[in-house]
């Protein structure tokens, strides 16, 4: 029976409204007081039923909820035959709950829209070479899929053949189509606007970028910030306190109507709902604009950030470096390059990929006894020779003597902003490569936006040489730049800044960044970075779109400000209502409940403004 009544709350609200209209029509138009009273009595009983059930369910788990206050107040009004107040209060409470749920559903529209974007089927290549439509859950890694014009990409994958333009708005928040050719990466949930492509499935199901977005946003919307936890604790004690206050007022004044009016006016509805609705709307806006905020707590901390620390490669730079200059020392260079290629094949570092691309096709040898030197490079046995590939520090560790010419070459390469890769064979330097990475387009403009948003310190930490890091810092106008930084050096720097009272955000994309991402007050991962970096971060910039960073900071500042506004509105309304009850004669239970419900709608609508938040145009 309880379930049936609660399931019919909206219908009960409508019937109550009709009965109240009928009551006042009978009184003023028909002058029939019997219909007037009975209509209000039925409206009161009907309206109180779902509220009383919710109050009972709350008391069963030892919670004195708003429903308990309203149930006591309405019952009291009914018993003293204030049927107008009892009917109007129950209707307003139910109607307010209906509007509250409806508007709250709109604030959760972001996650709903994301879920609806999820692909449901795919054209999979079968053993006979034909493509057949299958459920997306039946796609495995390595399967070959066909995507036609207008279709959703079903999984994360790599283009094997064909070309076209894909709308990646569901991932990046940008609706401008992105061109895709062979070897391009594509993401589940994006739409192929023209062309036909065949892709290899690299990630399927919940492991896709889109699947992780939905999972992270759902987790974030269910999480609670410190402010929300405080309000939960506050409400736990505040609501019984209002009940006690009403009882004390009745003991002193013996005025039942005054006591139950206090119960109605003291309802903390707007306070309870104000902060969560701001958080949900802020997280929803981020999800639709390529920014994943992993919870309400992140919003609070992110909004206070005064220092942002960046990794260089793949964060401030494109992360696709190329060999710009090289010098050879000694003979048998082809053999040395074959050794070098064999060793670099063992690494997935961007510099290793640049070296392999430059060397091109060559003979490869079996690599044995590989040793990765953290922050230095790789040492391995190849064809019976000891090969060391890495930076100057590694060469010094290996006691590789650098000639005067080599030292001049190193200095010259560094001054041009190159990252250095030196190769030694059996303790003799053979190859010096200078590798440069391009700065991300638009990064300088985005960094200026961060400064205007209140970030005081912009710092780059890199394992690269100091000359390269200084060059990047000067070009981008960064506050400080530190090179030759090992992962533990980066963590130590963050701890040092935190000890000085700074709120630190760290932006990175690699496995070596994960300790710093976890240690910083806010860890921000580039979306195309490693799984470890994404998992240990607090926020993710999808598709590694750096321009989303100013939007994320501006959004969290607006969300934190919105939460404070809602708290002030909620507390202010309660104070004004109680003051009006004490110092005026016009305040009564019905007016109090009307204002109370209106305040709930005001904080919800205020929070919903965040769904339309855009940084663009404010700081351009």
Asked whether the beta carbons of 351 and 303 are under 8 A apart, the reply is no
Contacts of 417 (CB under 8 A, 6+ apart): 436, 467, 468, 471, 472
Q: Environment class of residue 614 by beta-carbon count within 10 Å: exposed (0-12), middle (13-18) or buried (19+)? A: exposed
Q: Is 132 helix (H, G, I), strand (E, B) or coil?
A: strand
Asked whether the beta carbons of 319 and 313 are under 8 A apart, the reply is yes
Neighbouring-strand partners of residue 379: 371, 388
Q: Which residue has the tokens 């330097």?
A: 429
Tell me how long the chain is: 620
Residue 153 is classified by DSSP as: P
Provide DSSP, 316-327: IB-S--EEEEEE
> What is the crossing angle of helices 9-25 and 83-107, to 10°?
140
- Which is it for strands 480-482 and 457-461: parallel, antiparallel or unpaired? parallel
Q: Is 70 helix (H, G, I), strand (E, B) or coil?
A: helix
Per 3-state DSSP, the chain is made up of helix, strand and coil in percentages (nearest 5) of 55, 20, 25
Residue of 67, 156, 301, 311 marked active site: 311
d(CA 437, CA 277): 43
Distances (CA, A) of 318 to 167, 348, 437, 448: 21, 16, 7, 19
Asked whether the beta carbons of 208 and 156 are under 8 A apart, the reply is yes
Contacts of 1 (CB under 8 A, 6+ apart): none
- Which is it for strands 428-436 and 322-328: parallel, antiparallel or unpaired? antiparallel
d(CA 303, CA 300): 6
The stretches of 155-225 forming alpha helices (DSSP H) are 169-172, 209-222
- Which is it for strands 367-373 and 322-328: parallel, antiparallel or unpaired? unpaired
Tell me the two tokens of residue 594.
């009307």
Contacts of 395 (CB under 8 A, 6+ apart): 388, 402, 422, 424, 429
Residue 164 is classified by DSSP as: E
Residue 27 is classified by DSSP as: I
Asked whether the beta carbons of 389 and 340 are under 8 A apart, the reply is yes
Task: Tell me, yes or no, if 311 is annotated catalytic.
Answer: yes
Nearest to 203 by CA among 187, 217, 190, 189: 187
d(CA 462, CA 481): 8
Tell me the two tokens of residue 95.
């109607």
d(CA 279, CA 605): 13
In the chain, DSSP finds a helix count (H) and a strand count (E) of: 23, 20
Tell me the two tokens of residue 313.
């490669």
Q: Environment class of residue 418 by beta-carbon count within 10 Å: exposed (0-12), middle (13-18) or buried (19+)? A: buried
Catalytic residues: 311
């Amino acid at each position: 029976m309880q379930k049936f009544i609660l399931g019919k709350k909206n219908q009960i609200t409508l019937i109550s409204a009709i009965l109240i209209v009928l009551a006042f029509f009978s009184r003023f138009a028909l002058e029939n007081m019997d219909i007037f009273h009975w209509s209000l009595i039925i409206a009161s009983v009907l309206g109180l039923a779902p509220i009383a059930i919710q109050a009972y369910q709350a008391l069963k788990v030892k919670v004195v909820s708003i429903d308990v206050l309203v149930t006591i107040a309405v019952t009291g009004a009914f018993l003293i035959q204030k049927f107008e107040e009892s009917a109007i209060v129950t209707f307003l409470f139910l109607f307010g709950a209906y509007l509250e749920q409806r508007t709250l559903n709109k604030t959760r529209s972001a996650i709903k829209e994301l879920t609806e974007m999820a692909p449901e089927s795919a054209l999979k290549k079968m053993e006979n070479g034909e493509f057949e439509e299958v459920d997306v859950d039946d796609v495995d890694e390595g399967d070959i899929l066909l995507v036609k014009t207008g279709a959703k990409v079903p999984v994360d994958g790599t283009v094997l053949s064909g070309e076209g333009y894909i709308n990646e708005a569901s991932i990046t928040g940008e609706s401008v189509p992105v061109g895709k050719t062979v070897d391009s990466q594509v993401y589940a949930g994006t739409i192929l606007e023209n062309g036909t492509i065949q892709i290899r499935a690299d990630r399927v199901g919940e492991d896709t970028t889109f699947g992780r977005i939905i999972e992270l946003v759902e987790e974030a919307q269910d999480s609670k910030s410190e402010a929300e936890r405080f309000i939960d604790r506050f409400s736990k004690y505040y609501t019984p306190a209002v009940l006690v206050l009403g009882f004390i007022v009745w003991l002193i004044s013996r005025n039942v109507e005054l006591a139950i009016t206090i119960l109605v006016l003291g309802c903390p509805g707007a306070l309870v709902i104000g902060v969560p609705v701001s958080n949900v709307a802020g997280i929803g806006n981020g999800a639709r604009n390529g920014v994943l905020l992993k919870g309400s707590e992140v919003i609070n901390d992110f909004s206070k950030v005064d220092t942002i620390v960046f990794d260089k490669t793949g964060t401030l730079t494109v992360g696709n470096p190329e060999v710009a200059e090289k010098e050879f020392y000694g003979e048998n260079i082809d053999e040395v390059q074959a050794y070098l290629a064999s060793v670099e094949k063992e690494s997935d570092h961007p510099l290793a990929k640049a070296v392999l691309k430059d060397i091109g096709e060559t003979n490869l040898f079996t690599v044995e006894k590989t040793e990765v030197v953290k922050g230095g490079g790789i040492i391995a046995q190849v064809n019976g020779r000891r090969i060391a590939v890495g930076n100057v520090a590694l060469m010094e560790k290996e006691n590789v003597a650098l000639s005067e010419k080599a030292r001049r070459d190193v200095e010259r390469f560094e001054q041009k902003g190159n990252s250095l890769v030196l190769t030694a064979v059996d303790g003799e330097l053979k190859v010096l490569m200078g590798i440069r990475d391009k700065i991300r387009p638009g990064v300088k403009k985005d960094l200026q936006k961060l400064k205007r948003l209140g970030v005081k310190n912009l710092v780059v930490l890199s394992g690269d040489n100091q000359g390269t890091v200084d060059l990047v810092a000067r070009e981008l106008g960064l506050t400080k730049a530190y090179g030759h930084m090992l992962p533990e050096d980066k963590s130590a720097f963050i701890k040092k800044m935190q000890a000085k009272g700074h709120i630190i955000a760290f932006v990175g994309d690699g496995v070596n960044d994960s300790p710093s991402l976890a240690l910083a007050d806010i860890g921000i991962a580039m979306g195309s970075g490693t799984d470890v970096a994404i998992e240990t971060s607090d926020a993710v910039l999808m598709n590694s779109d750096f321009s989303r960073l100013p939007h994320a900071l501006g959004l969290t500042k607006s969300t934190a400000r919105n939460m404070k506004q809602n708290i002030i509105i909620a507390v202010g309304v309660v104070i004004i209502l109680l003051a009006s009850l004490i110092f005026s004669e016009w305040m009564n239970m019905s007016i109090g409940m009307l204002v109370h419900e209106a305040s709930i709608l005001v904080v919800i609508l205020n929070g919903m403004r965040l769904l339309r938040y855009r940084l663009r145009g404010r700081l351009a």
